[in-house]
Chain A
Amino acid sequence: MRILTAVILFALWLVLSATYDPAHVIVGAVVSALVAWLNPALPHMRRLSWFAALAYQPWLFGRILKSGLHVSRLILDPKLPISPELVRHKTKFTRDGELVALGNSITLTPGTITVEVAPGELVVHAIDEESRKDLLDGSFEAKIAGVFAATEGER
């Protein structure tokens, strides 16, 4: 697992430095290996469903685009028809990875933003009724559960 971390870090180094003389490449390789060796391996990572994680991105982008246009319309509306409210959002997720994925997705989507996170419950601020409904339909949970499906039973 740490080898994979080192490889990813090294790839990032190559992209960001974009100088390919031996000195830079060797420094990059040594530093990547050192960082991967010093840090504990990320839990869950090896059991993620990478395909589901990849498929989740375009879906999430669709949601972001849709609600982004909705929030833009709200902002540009002369009457400013917002009804902001804090919502307690129950979730079946209790582990860090799932909560981070869910909280980040909710915040990334315009119109909803995660205020507090606890296992099993999120406090979410929604800007209007439609954003609230989008949150409640549970499709975020369904998709993220698919990504973490392989880690089930590792509690």
Chain B
Amino acid sequence: MSWLGIALIVIGLFFLVVGSIGMLRLPDVFSRAHALSVTDSLGALFVLLGLAVYEGFNTNFLRIIVVLGLIYLLNPVIAHATVRAAYRSGLRPGKGDDQ
């Protein structure tokens, strides 16, 4: 069981690294938000799932599942609030941050 947990955590770390690379490579706030959604939707998911499996079935397992549920509800709200703020303050995609 612990190997499955470790494997899931490594997969999650891969997505966290990819998301961070995307954060550096992508040109503006809108496309960077996509890198962020890779980090949160897949990176955090696999890392937390791996931790849950590693932990085995006890109250910590349940807590991790609750955290996962909250991330899936709240993360899109935060991403949306960020890009909406960028949009309303006049930023448009494809021009870079220093248009």
- A-side residues, CB < 8 A to B, are 12, 15-16, 18, 64-65, 68, 71-72, 75-76, 80, 82, 84-86, 103-105, 107-117, 123, 125, 127
Contacts and interface: CB of A to CB of B under 8 A. Distances in A.
Given A16-B63, A72-B15, A116-B84, A84 B37 contact: no
Interface of B: 15, 18-19, 21-22, 25-28, 30-31, 33-35, 37-38, 41-42, 59, 62-63, 66, 72-73, 75-77, 79-80, 83-84, 87, 92-94
Given A16-B63, A85-B94, A104-B73, A110 B87 contact: no
B66 A84 contact: no
B66 A16 contact: yes
B35 A75 contact: yes
B75 A108 contact: yes
17 contacts: A16-B66, A68-B42, A71-B37, A71-B38, A72-B38, A75-B19, A75-B21, A80-B25, A82-B31, A84-B31, A85-B94, A86-B93, A104-B80, A113-B33, A114-B76, A114-B80, A127-B31
Contacts of A123: 87
Contact of A15 (B15, B59, B84, B92): B59
B69 to A, nearest CB: 10
B30 A107 contact: no
A107 B26 contact: no
B93 A125 contact: yes
B40 to A, nearest CB: 8
A110 B41 contact: yes
A124 to B, nearest CB: 10
